[in-house]
Amino acid sequence: MSLSDKTAIVTGAGSARGIGRATAHALAAAGWHIAVLDVNEASAKDAADEIAGRRGVRSFGIGCDVTDETAVGAALDVLGGSAPPVGALVNNAGVTSPTRFLDVTGEEWDRIFAVNVRGAYNITRQVAPTMAERGFGRIVFLSSVSAERGGGVFGGVAYSAAKAAQLGFARALARELGPHGVTVNSVAPGLIDTDITGGALDGERKEELLAGIPVGRNGTVADVADLITYLCREESGYITGATYDVNGGSHIH
């Protein structure tokens, strides 16, 4: 199968200015059919319509709470009945939290892990077996520089811990699925201009953050989306278990 025969799922791609929607557009431009899964069904459908209109590929927008295993199964059933086989999965759905550890409640901790970690498990667990059976798959996790440097940008301890869990998840899964033609990689963005960070990129705070970035600017969603699209290529089959930093040099290790 060529990419024109495959669907790429991008979770949490409903936000108009988010990394997920930009990634869905970039994958569509590369020839993938697209499935947008988002907890906001209206946003998912809006993204799908926009992608189909601009890119000329088949695009599906489905409301889905990734923390609900049953809802994920139902969404995949919809795709299974109408979309080309799933060849790529981008685990983009996530929530952040700036709460200090000494203030974080157990409820908030569980919420952050439910979306970022359990949500990624719920859909990956259901998609990976069919990828392995077909002998081709590309899975990408959206982690964060916060997981590598220990917070310090926007996310607190709960967020950093959840995003670090994704890195371990991806690395171990890469070992397990490699023999079946499925690659698993992570992308760790730094300061990216999205709706989540936009409000904090003003005045002195913006100057302070940008002062620590060697390239002298915040990142764009396209900076991240282009890398994810590269990792999903058929030609990228010898890249797996890796973490790619997209942070302008703010964290070099």
Query: Tokens 């890119």 belong to which residue?
Result: 55
C-alpha span between 76 and 123 (Å, rounded): 9
Backbone angles phi, psi at 65, to 5 degrees: -90, 110
C-alpha span between 74 and 151 (Å, rounded): 35
Residues marked as catalytic: 159
Alpha-helical regions (H) of the chain: 19-29, 41-55, 69-82, 106-113, 119-134, 145-149, 157-177, 195-198, 203-211, 221-231
C-alpha span between 173 and 244 (Å, rounded): 16
C-alpha span between 92 and 115 (Å, rounded): 10
3-class SS at 190?
A: coil
- Buried b vs exposed e over 123-143: b needs ≥16 C-beta within 10 Å? bbebbbeebbebebbbbbbbb
